[in-house]
Chain A
Amino acid sequence: MSDVAPKPSDQRLERIPDIGCAPVGSSAERRLAELWETAPGWRGWLSTVDHKEIGLRYLGTAFIFLLMGGIEALIMRLQLARPDQTLLTPDQYNQLFTMHGVTMIFLYSLPVLSGFSNYLWPLMLGSRDMAFPRLNALSYWIFLFSGIFLYASFPLGQGPNAGWFNYVPFAGLEFNPGPNIDVYALGMVLLGISTTVGSINFVVTLFRMRAPGMSIDRVPILVWGTLTASVANIFAVPSVSLAFFLLWLDRNAGTHFFDVINGGKPMLWQHLFWMFGHPWVYAVVLPAMGIVSDALPTFCRRPLVGYSAVALSTMATMLLGFGVWIHHLFAAGLPTLAMSFFGATSMVISIPSAVAVFAWIATIWLGRPVFNTPFLFFAGFVLLFVIGGLSGVMTAAVPLDFQLNETYFVVAHLHYVLIGINVFPVVGGIYYWFPKFFGRMMNETLGKWSFWVMFIGFNLGFFPMHLAGLLGMPRRIYTYAPNMGWNTVNLVTSIGSFMFAAGILIFLVNVAVSLRRGSVSSANPWDAPTLEWATPSPPPAYNFAVIPLVASRHPLWEDRLAEGESRTSLNEGYLLMEGRETIGTTPLDAKPDIILKMPDDSYAPFFLGLFSALVFTGLLLDWRQFTVLMILASGLTLMAWLWPREILLQRIAGSEHAEAGDYG
């Protein structure tokens, strides 16, 4: 993370890195392994900063949250399967759907994509790690702790219960005096730190950490997607953190931001929440769309059609995405003119999506599809995306949304987009990269079963929700009367939900079985074009023994694509082995710029994460001294983290000042 190598003379500022080869087993390779490998046992487990390890942890943790949120949903579906059921009390139901939404939106859908991106970015970009490996670890730990924090009061029957968008004044002290909303508010601020730190890391990684030659028009679409999402998060997350913080002040310090009697405005909450909320829903799908854009071509045996158009459409979606938040407020009684504008932008936002959809279809059409499991998920995704997007267009039609708003039609829309554009690509992505993660292939038979059960179950379960919405069924009701005409659709939905869950179960069984018994995979089992497949499966701790010199968008297909003369150099490149090092390049055209000293494993991220979570715990329980103590502990941990390392002499690892401002 420093600019210079540790040599005692002034020479240390400038050094020409060796270019060479380091085949497996060579002394150079062994030295690299020694430098980069994490210590065994719990020490390494707590201190590792390896992006691959962190990525897998993100994936695993997010999946656990998916299961928890899923089980909550299944219980809700039992209650809703028939009219007038009494399986759940209204209070239990309200906590369930709130925790379901919170879990799925905040603890599953973005973290799971962060998992992929953390694991894959350095491999795809030809680097040895992310820009800030320790921040990376910190962002995981805070994510984990905030997830636990958000669930802390749920087992006590005091979980958040005001819906995931938590409208005031219902979420205010007067109508919700318990600890539930404080848990939600503080948990979200804590989680916001994790998201911000992670996003900063992705943005800087993109600017600094690409292999020489990996110019900006050669990075995979997944990178574009995550970059766009990260930039968006940097702008959007403060909005929701602030909203929750102000709510917490209202509840605990007696301020009046949302306090109607004293002039506070509930609409302020709606604006702040959705100014964040809408960009966020794109942040949780753009990287997943990137997964498809990168992986689908592998199974079509051709590059993606319209790379630049798709990359641009990714950014255009996000840009427009900051200008549509009012479409969640169409029923709030705003002036017609404002609604016209935001209704129009909400429809126009479909145009970049059209670019992507037609690019995928063209890729399949012009390619020679290989019907492997991942491909099925990606092709199925295209269909689900279109259904979810089209229902979005219907809700964007302002007058129609006066009817559709807050009915099951919206619930149908949000599940088609979230499950269609997030869960399906994620599961497909796991089938695709599993061999890279673990060095074993997943079982194809179980894979096909899991796809078809999930695909049919999903549509069976969630398509009827559109009908329920058109029949007038409001969302967030714990039961309904038998004479409303909603009995059949709900029964079918419940059956479909369980079928979908069974599909997930098959997938999980497949993972468990394949981890042990899957056939051993080669470095590039799918004959894919991108750099991560140039590394062994699973990749060594240092990723690339030599930093590759990239010459095209499809380094592993170059010979067959018959692109220009130059060829990517995979076996010969910068060696860089005086400590943990990698190369830093210029932001746009990826010219080698500096040698980056990467940090060693460190406990600081874990402890900083722990202490900051304890700060929030102290705030929640109103333990003043404890809170102050934990703030001090966090500060000291930060100081230790930032203290100039002797080995670097006078160079300061300046980056981590980043957090000093954030929670110092």
Chain B
Amino acid sequence: MAERVRTGKRSGGWWGMWTLIVTEGSLFGYLLFAYFYLASQTEQHWPPTGLPILLIPGINTVILLTSSVFVWLCERCLASGRPRWSLASMATALMLGMGFVLIQLTEWQKKTFDMTTNLYGSLYFTITGFHMLHVLVGLVILMILLIWIALGYFDHRRYAAVTIGGLYWHFVDVVWLFVFSTLYLFPYLDST
């Protein structure tokens, strides 16, 4: 059994991140379950303020997904030995992520209700708020990765942290698709 024991691509942290994603994914699953459950049981007009406007949130969705692409690109650049490019790519991703946050904040601002106004308001702000929290955590992670890339902590053979942190960011983005579909698209389905 004296075979060569070498670096596994999939470090413990990679496994750990996946399990975290599973449990966080379930969390969002239950949150959306709560939404659908309450929407199906309610006697109120749903959503009370009428169908949501799709334009800005739609653009914002694209922004978030694009940031995921740049995170992926950052990792690729590291792997192919182009740390400068990876740094730029990560910076772009970070900017896009922050852009998402800003646009989302203005979206919140525009709402005529808050989380205490009615049941829908509670759901809307809790779900998007929860997601926002994850985006912020994700941004902190990206920021730290950016610093570490800038400090030259990674090279083409060692960048597991970027893979793992990136995984989290992709998760945050994929979850947004579900949140977006639930809060913005589902009411259209429901109303026809």
A binds B: yes
Q: How far is the CA of A659 from the CA of B24 in the complex (A)?
A: 11
Q: Which of A289-323 contact B (CB under 8 A)?
A: none
Distance from A198 Cβ to chain B, minimum over Cβ atoms (Å): 11
Select one of B13, B22, B164 contacting A235, CB under 8 A: B22
Q: Quick check: A1 and B148 within 8 Å, CB to CB?
A: no
Q: Quick check: A263 and B119 within 8 Å, CB to CB?
A: yes
> A593 near B: Cβ within 8 Å?
yes
Interface string of B15-39 (1 = CB under 8 A from A): 1110110111011011101100110
> A207 near B: Cβ within 8 Å?
yes
Q: Which B residues are CB-close (under 8 A) to A484?
A: none
Q: Which B residues are CB-close (under 8 A) to A239?
A: 26, 30
> A2 near B: Cβ within 8 Å?
yes
Distance from A189 Cβ to chain B, minimum over Cβ atoms (Å): 11
Interface string of B113-128 (1 = CB under 8 A from A): 0011011001100100
Q: How far is the CA of A204 from the CA of B43 in the complex (A)?
A: 45
Q: How big is chain B's contact interface, by range?
A: 35 or more
> B82 near A: Cβ within 8 Å?
no
Select one of B19, B27, B44, B164 contacting A203, CB under 8 A: B19
Q: Which A residues are CB-close (under 8 A) to B7?
A: 3-4, 13-14, 594
Interface segment, A34-42, A253-261, A361-369, A428-436?
A253-261
> A515 near B: Cβ within 8 Å?
no
Which B residue sits closest to A583, measured CB to CB?
B5
> B181 near A: Cβ within 8 Å?
no
Q: Quick check: B20 and A661 within 8 Å, CB to CB?
A: yes
Q: Quick check: A271 and B115 within 8 Å, CB to CB?
A: no
Q: Which B residues are CB-close (under 8 A) to A272?
A: 30, 33-34
Which B residue sits closest to A659, measured CB to CB?
B20
Q: Which B residues are CB-close (under 8 A) to A131?
A: 12, 15-16
Q: How far is the CA of A591 from the CA of B19 in the complex (A)?
A: 22
Interface segment, B58-66, B95-103, B134-142, B182-190?
B134-142
Q: How far is the CA of A451 from the CA of B152 in the complex (A)?
A: 63
Given contacts A235-B26, A255-B126, A664 and B137 within 8 Å (CB-CB): yes
Q: How far is the CA of A203 from the CA of B18 in the complex (A)?
A: 11
Interface segment, B67-75, B84-92, B104-112, B153-161?
B153-161
Select one of A19, A238, A549, A644 contacting B23, CB under 8 A: A238
Q: Quick check: A238 and B17 within 8 Å, CB to CB?
A: no
Given contacts A3-B11, A264-B119, A593-B5, A658 and B26 within 8 Å (CB-CB): no
Select one of B11, B17, B27, B155 contacting A242, CB under 8 A: B27
Q: How far is the CA of A264 from the CA of B31 in the complex (A)?
A: 14
Distance from B3 Cβ to chain A, minimum over Cβ atoms (Å): 6
Q: Quick check: A249 and B122 within 8 Å, CB to CB?
A: yes
Q: Which A residues are CB-close (under 8 A) to B158?
A: 4, 649-652
> A212 near B: Cβ within 8 Å?
yes
Distance from A391 Cβ to chain B, minimum over Cβ atoms (Å): 30
> B55 near A: Cβ within 8 Å?
no
> B42 near A: Cβ within 8 Å?
yes
Distance from B136 Cβ to chain A, minimum over Cβ atoms (Å): 9
Q: Quick check: B160 and A268 within 8 Å, CB to CB?
A: no
Q: Quick check: B134 and A256 within 8 Å, CB to CB?
A: no
Distance from A46 Cβ to chain B, minimum over Cβ atoms (Å): 24
Q: Quick check: A660 and B5 within 8 Å, CB to CB?
A: no
Q: Quick check: A208 and B15 within 8 Å, CB to CB?
A: yes
Q: Quick check: B38 and A255 within 8 Å, CB to CB?
A: no
Q: How far is the CA of A573 from the CA of B123 in the complex (A)?
A: 57
> A75 near B: Cβ within 8 Å?
no
Q: How far is the CA of A257 from the CA of B121 in the complex (A)?
A: 10
Q: Which B residues are CB-close (under 8 A) to A19?
A: 1-2
Given contacts A238-B23, A639-B144, A1 and B13 within 8 Å (CB-CB): yes
Q: Quick check: A208 and B140 within 8 Å, CB to CB?
A: no
Q: Quick check: B134 and A661 within 8 Å, CB to CB?
A: yes
Q: How far is the CA of A132 from the CA of B5 in the complex (A)?
A: 20
Q: Quick check: A661 and B122 within 8 Å, CB to CB?
A: no
Which B residue sits closest to A208, measured CB to CB?
B12
Q: Quick check: A584 and B16 within 8 Å, CB to CB?
A: no
Q: Which B residues are CB-close (under 8 A) to A135?
A: 16
Q: Quick check: B16 and A655 within 8 Å, CB to CB?
A: yes
Interface string of A632-660 (1 = CB under 8 A from B): 00010001001010000111111111111
Given contacts A263-B118, A272-B34, A592-B3, A660 and B12 within 8 Å (CB-CB): no
Q: How far is the CA of A17 from the CA of B160 in the complex (A)?
A: 22
Q: How far is the CA of A648 from the CA of B8 in the complex (A)?
A: 16
Q: Which of A256-288 contact B (CB under 8 A)?
A: 256-257, 259, 262-265, 267-268, 271-272, 275
Q: How far is the CA of A16 from the CA of B2 in the complex (A)?
A: 8
Q: Which A residues are CB-close (under 8 A) to B30?
A: 238-239, 242, 272, 275
Given contacts A242-B27, A651-B160, A657-B164, A594 and B5 within 8 Å (CB-CB): yes
Q: Which B residues are CB-close (under 8 A) to A627?
A: none
Distance from A353 Cβ to chain B, minimum over Cβ atoms (Å): 26
Distance from B42 Cβ to chain A, minimum over Cβ atoms (Å): 5
Select one of A15, A238, A651 contacting B26, CB under 8 A: A238
Q: Quick check: B5 and A595 within 8 Å, CB to CB?
A: yes
Which of B16, B29, B152 has the most chain A CB within a 10 Å cutoff?
A: B16
Q: How far is the CA of A257 from the CA of B115 in the complex (A)?
A: 10
Q: Quick check: B26 and A200 within 8 Å, CB to CB?
A: no
Q: Which B residues are CB-close (under 8 A) to A196?
A: 23
Q: Quick check: B13 and A17 within 8 Å, CB to CB?
A: no
Q: How far is the CA of A403 from the CA of B165 in the complex (A)?
A: 53
Distance from A611 Cβ to chain B, minimum over Cβ atoms (Å): 16
Q: Quick check: A257 and B8 within 8 Å, CB to CB?
A: no
Q: Which B residues are CB-close (under 8 A) to A591?
A: 3
Q: How far is the CA of A604 from the CA of B5 in the complex (A)?
A: 30
> A246 near B: Cβ within 8 Å?
yes
Q: How far is the CA of A4 from the CA of B6 in the complex (A)?
A: 8
Distance from B95 Cβ to chain A, minimum over Cβ atoms (Å): 20
Q: How far is the CA of A623 from the CA of B36 in the complex (A)?
A: 34
Q: Quick check: A256 and B118 within 8 Å, CB to CB?
A: yes
Given contacts A255-B126, A593-B8, A241 and B27 within 8 Å (CB-CB): yes
Distance from A569 Cβ to chain B, minimum over Cβ atoms (Å): 9
Distance from B117 Cβ to chain A, minimum over Cβ atoms (Å): 9
Q: How far is the CA of A343 from the CA of B33 in the complex (A)?
A: 22
Q: Which B residues are CB-close (under 8 A) to A96?
A: none
Select one of B41, B134, B154, B157 contacting A265, CB under 8 A: B41
Distance from A580 Cβ to chain B, minimum over Cβ atoms (Å): 14
Q: Quick check: B26 and A234 within 8 Å, CB to CB?
A: yes
Q: How far is the CA of A199 from the CA of B22 in the complex (A)?
A: 12
Q: Quick check: A658 and B16 within 8 Å, CB to CB?
A: yes
> A142 near B: Cβ within 8 Å?
no
Distance from B22 Cβ to chain A, minimum over Cβ atoms (Å): 6
Interface string of A171-204 (1 = CB under 8 A from B): 0000000000000000000000000100110011
Q: Quick check: A657 and B3 within 8 Å, CB to CB?
A: no
Q: Which B residues are CB-close (under 8 A) to A4?
A: 7, 158
Q: Which A residues are CB-close (under 8 A) to B8?
A: 3, 584, 593-594
Given contacts A13-B157, A200-B23, A655 and B11 within 8 Å (CB-CB): yes
> A460 near B: Cβ within 8 Å?
no
Q: How far is the CA of A644 from the CA of B119 in the complex (A)?
A: 45
Q: Which B residues are CB-close (under 8 A) to A263?
A: 38, 42-44, 118-119
> B176 near A: Cβ within 8 Å?
no
19 A–B pairs (Cβ distance < 8 Å), ordered by A: A1-B13, A3-B7, A15-B5, A132-B12, A135-B16, A212-B1, A234-B19, A234-B22, A235-B22, A237-B23, A254-B116, A263-B119, A264-B119, A268-B38, A635-B140, A650-B152, A651-B158, A654-B16, A661-B137
| 5 additional A-B residue pairs with CB within 8 Å, beyond A237-B23, A661-B141 | A652-B158, A655-B16, A661-B134, A661-B138, A664-B140
Which 4 pairs of residues, A with B, have the shortest CB-CB distance? A654-B13, A652-B161, A655-B13, A238-B27
